[in-house]
Amino acid sequence: MTYLDDLERELAAVGIRGRARRRILAEAEDHLRSDESAVGRFGDPRELANTFAAELGTRASREAAIGAFAALGIAGAVFAASFVGLTFAGTASTESPAAAIGSLVIIVAPQIAFVAGALALLRVVRRRKDPVLSSEERRVVNRRTGVALLAGIATMAALFELAVEYRNDLAPTWVGFTLIATPIASALLLLAALPAFRASGLRPRVPGAAGDVFDDLGLVRYRAEPWRFAVRVAVLVGVAVWLAGIVGADPIDGLARGVFEGLACLAGFGVLGRYLGLRA
């Protein structure tokens, strides 16, 4: 086994494949051909491969988070236009079980997409000057990016399904816009998922803590009591939704929506809190 064979094996072990691996091996071969003593400067193949993976992985996770947030921004614009337009598109004569599920999805999924995507972006922006991120921190960023994209795709699918269900009841303009715009936004989200998938395939071993949402927001003092923090956020969200209902001259319905939104916040913190690095 030559040094290049060992390096190729170690590069594969940390997830560096395809063009990146060929480029690294070609550069190493070029250096070794011109100077055999370069092996000593390269060092252990495992450590060298890990160094490459740490740098490539950090860059890939950052680019994936930024790209996902950009795609989510476009999907969010489609969602906002479709959701607002729905209030002026008429009233459906009946509501099928599939439409009821779709309505629930377009209430919950967009919030998950926004929170997860924003937190992924916030983490990479906050740590933008660090040459590499720890393995645990990269895992948190990749998870946030992936969940945000999945929730965004679920939102677009739910809107599309509602347009199909109500195509004979609602305004043709709204139905046509939703049937055209949601597949386009979904395609952009799927394209943004490719870099996220590649980023998750890199597996360098870099020590360090994952951090949590309290690091992201600069609220470390709340780390000892994460659920108290979650309750406060849920109350603020619920009150905001209720006040919006009052402004819209529908305080009773606004209160019901506010309670639902607050409980949804708590449920999300409980179900996804550890997975997305919201709490330790």
Q: Do 236 and 192 share a structural domain? A: no
Q: Do 156 and 117 share a structural domain? A: yes
* pLDDT, tens only, 181-216: 999 999 999 999 999 999 999 999 999 988 888 988
Q: Do 104 and 222 share a structural domain? A: no
Q: Do 278 and 200 share a structural domain? A: no
* pLDDT, tens only, 96-129: 787 788 888 988 899 999 999 999 999 999 999 9
Q: Is the pLDDT of residue 73 over 80?
A: yes
- pTM of the predicted protein model: 0.88
Q: How far apart are CA 217 and CA 227, in angstroms?
A: 16
Q: Is the pLDDT of residue 21 over 80?
A: yes
| Sign, Cα dihedral of 59, 61, 67, 70 | negative
Write the secondary structure of 38-80 as one string of H (helix), E (strand) and C (coil): HHHHHCCHHHHHHHHHHHHHHHHHHHHHHHHHHHHHHHHHHHH
Split into its structural domains, the chain has a count of 3
Residue 53 is assigned to a structural domain of this protein: no
Of 8, 12, 224, 180, the residue nearest 82 (C-alpha): 180
Q: Residue 9 has what pLDDT? A: 92
